[in-house]
Amino acid sequence: MKKVVTMGEIMLRLSTPGYKRFTQSESFDVVYGGGEANVAVSLANYGLDAYFVSKLPENPIGQSAVNSLRRFGVNTDYIARGGDRVGIYFLETGASMRPSKVVYDRAHSAISEADVEDFDFDEIFKDAEWFHFSGITPALSDKSAELTLAALKAAKKHGVTVSVDLNYRKKLWSPEKAKKVMTELMEYVDVCIGNEEDAETTLGFKPGKTDVTKGELELQGYKDIFKQMKDKFGFKYVVSTLRESYSASDNGWSALIYNGEEFYHSRKYDIRIVDRVGGGDSFAGGLIYGLVSGKDFKDALEFAVAASAMKHTIPGDFNMMNVDEVMTLVEGDASGRVQR
């Protein structure tokens, strides 16, 4: 199996049952999730040798987070143990015109206070083919930014392909700091993934007249900034998901990819959302799987979009789909008929 490494924070997710508001709920549903952990689960479900790198406290909550990854076949050998707490986020799932809401309680989590010395990156990247991180990880703290840079340098030393999901989070850092830190990290990136908001906020590229809140997409604007991004940073592929937000319950979903010569727009899916969280991560996982397994970049994109469309129908952060199930949708069967 091909070895793929992801690094970041896994958090305890506390969600209101159904579509209740925080002020209504007297209990929470418990799952675990987080950007790079979600990607690792997708990759494990697709049959790759997926490793997740992080730091978690040596207590029952930290162990529960580890167990949640092991349950789906993610290798946790490189998770350092120590620190005081697991980060938490609270989720209120929206519906129709009412948006979902997230409240973070992740300050001073174990990974945000981890040191570079907690990890043996030469061992971690030995025989690895791919490394994935997101813009969330360096945003956690200055130490996390240093850790991310150290991991990227080690990955390139070992000849590992690197992908990033830009994933800007305004509750974690400012646009000014994001641009400063992320611009430095882009030197080590081969595949850049990000939606139009992330590309503008973290790297300063805005795609024309696109307005996702009105369902308006201007594809030529994306093509222009993809060329600029590739020229500036030397990416092999520049990729963007395209979410047309009709409401919190219904979205249009497709994606774009550019390799320096061709600009390709995937099939579009109209999806009824069960759980939006992890949608972008499932897309990244599908794209990585497609490229690592030797698919042509257009086929890899179609696999990623289909995988992510399916994830929106599954509660929790993790995408539970396997390769055959995703390929059924790629090949055109979106009927949702009962399988017996």
Q: What is the CA radius of gyration of the chain?
A: 19
In whole angstroms, give the CA distance from residue 133 to residue 74: 16
Segment holding 70, helix H or strand E = helix 60-70
Closest CA to 15 of 100, 104, 93: 93
Q: Which uninterrupted H or E stretch holds 182?
A: helix 175-185
122 is catalytic: no
3-state percent breakdown (helix, strand, coil) of the chain, nearest 5: 40, 25, 40
DSSP string, 295-334: --HHHHHHHHHHHHHHHTTSSSSS----HHHHHHHHTT--
DSSP H helix total and E strand total for the chain: 11, 15
**Pair 16, 28: CB distance under 8 Å:** yes
Q: Name the residue type at position 61.
A: I
**Residues 154/200, Cβ–Cβ less than 8 Å:** no
Kind of pairing, strands 88-92 and 11-15? parallel
d(CA 307, CA 245): 19
Kindly name the residue from 281, 296, 299, 324 that is annotated as catalytic. Answer: 281
Q: Which residues belong to the active site?
A: 281
